[in-house]
Amino acid sequence: MDPLALGLISTIPLFLLFAGLTATRIKSHFVTLAGLAVTAILASFVWQMAPARIASSVMEGGLIALVPIIWVILAAVFTYFAGVESGAMETVRATLVTLSPDRNCQAVIIAYCFGGFLEGVAGFGTAVAIPTAVLITMGFAPVTAAVIALVANSVPVAFGALGIPVIVLAQITGLDLATLTRYVALQLLPFSILVPLVIALISNGGARGIGPSLPDIFVLGILFGGIQTLTAFYLGPELVAVMGALGSLALYVLYKSATGKWKAEGDQKKLLLALAAYIILLALVLITRLLPLDFLKRAPFVLTVPVGEGAVKIDWLTTPGTLLFVSAIAGSLLQGLSLSQVGRVFVQALDRIKWSAWTIVNIVALAKIMGYSGMVASTATLLAALSGKAYPLLAPGLGAVGTFVTGSDTASNILLGELQRETAVKIGADASWIVASNTAGATAGKMISPQSISVAAATIGLQSEERAIVRRTLLYCTAYSAVMGLFVYVVNLLLTR
């Protein structure tokens, strides 16, 4: 069959997912299950993939979906619920609103820094829902509060849930995790500074009179971007968003204190206790990532599960999900929760993610079949033929579309990561740089993802305003994607000279 015709056929599962998730009311786990079935049929009859190979691909996808993806998502949601149960989240929120009397700075602190922290440790809509609710209580108009929270929930998404999008991207593509982590951080660095400015402009209703807010806005943006980038370069992906958010807040507090513009109020011991889980998490990540503990990378701490002709390695002890669970349980007990309360919170977390877990298994299995059958290579051939050397301009936008459809940077990486790598190879681009742009570009799509919009609208109790929210955020998403594409294109030219 003609390669371009094969390329068109190979896009059928992706179009099915896009149509099912955006144009119907069918639940995502059913849409992705149908997509998986169609992918298996096409792989069998068009690409002549053996049934045993299809079955082993599904098994491999299921194992990878379980650890690290679902495991860390469960841990993140558990950690957040435990913080709500103990009152730790309310303690942190109450402290943040005192940091600045400036309304625009408050919007950045709550939506970008606090929201970034929530995205880093929880995700699942918390980084949209909670900042939206807090901003409304501070006097922001409901739709404006929702738009601010959605725009803010962009840069931190790439390293949300302890870096799981980038970790999964490395697993899916076989590219070096450290390189991908650094490239994603570099691609996001300009936006780390620009997004707080955009938030302030939305909060202010335009540029008129915004001057007094700008020094603090730029300080927060530069601190966030700088700390996030340094963490990506020297610690790995797990704490990038968390350190960017908490580090920028901590240094901003020192800056405000040194200039005499803020004085600590309230019970500081209580605040420290509220952050206990994250302090413990930081210590565990530093210990397991920086110390020469090579025995933790061998059996019995790493399990090798044979699947078909290959095997899947499960790093069950030092995987981010396990570290977060240990930290959350320890922090919860220190904050006064009983073991029965901890157990109840765990059950709540399980209930919250059950359908999403099914969706993730379907998507990872689908991606594995597409990769092993040759469908991804066929799609890459089509994209390379249509776009040629201009493809890097489009790569971040493709990632944004993936997140718009699936609602998840991680899912976008699973679906499109290998496709980005194959296309980059075919056009002679830097594969790691282009693949990284899928994650970086996916952060733009998060602003207008139907799932995120629904969370924001539900939070303000105005589901009828979803279209108004989309119209306002679409402009920012489009501009973000376009600038990202140009940046990725120019740097790729330098990398491939």
Tokens of 329: 């349980």
pTM of the model: 0.84
The total of other beta-carbon atoms located within 10 Å of residue 222's CB is 16
- What is residue 463's predicted lDDT score, i.e. its pLDDT? 58
Question: Which has more confidence, 297 or 85?
Answer: 85
Residue 311 pairs with which residues in a beta bridge?
A: 306
The total of other beta-carbon atoms located within 10 Å of residue 211's CB is 8
| 27-48 as b/e: b if 16+ CB within 10 A | ebbebbbbbbeebbebbbebbe
pLDDT category at 247 given cuts 50, 70, 90 is: very high
What is the SS3 assignment for 299? coil
pLDDT digits (tens, 9 = 90+) for 271-324: 889 989 988 988 898 898 778 888 988 899 999 999 987 888 898 998 888 998
252 burial type by CB count under 10 A (0-12 exposed, 13-18 middle, 19+ buried): buried
pLDDT digits (tens, 9 = 90+) for 400-440: 988 887 778 998 999 899 999 999 999 999 999 999 999 99
What is the SS3 assignment for 312? strand
Tokens of 163: 């870096």
* Cβ 483 vs Cβ 183: under 8 Å: no
Domain boundaries, the chain: 28-375
> Using a CB cutoff of 8 Å and minimum separation of 24, what contacts does 285-293 make?
285/235, 285/238, 285/239, 285/320, 285/323, 286/235, 288/318, 288/323, 289/235, 289/236, 289/238, 290/235
* Cβ 225 vs Cβ 244: under 8 Å: yes
* Cβ 393 vs Cβ 485: under 8 Å: yes
Q: What is the DSSP letter of 156?
A: G
Whether residue 45 is predicted with pLDDT greater than 70 in this model: the reply is yes
Selection from 154, 115, 116 nearest residue 133 by Cα? 115
Annotate 330-363 with DSSP letters as a single string.
HHHHHTT--HHHHHHHHHHHHHHHHHHHHHHHHH
Quote the CA–CA distance of 35 and 38 in Å, as a whole number.
Answer: 5
What mean pLDDT comes out for the span 17-41? Answer: 89
Quote the CA–CA distance of 243 and 394 in Å, as a whole number.
Answer: 30
Angle, alpha carbons 97-102-106 (nearest 5°): 40
Quote the CA–CA distance of 248 and 219 in Å, as a whole number.
Answer: 9
Residue 312 pairs with which residues in a beta bridge?
A: 305
- What is residue 123's predicted lDDT score, i.e. its pLDDT? 65
pLDDT category at 226 given cuts 50, 70, 90 is: very high
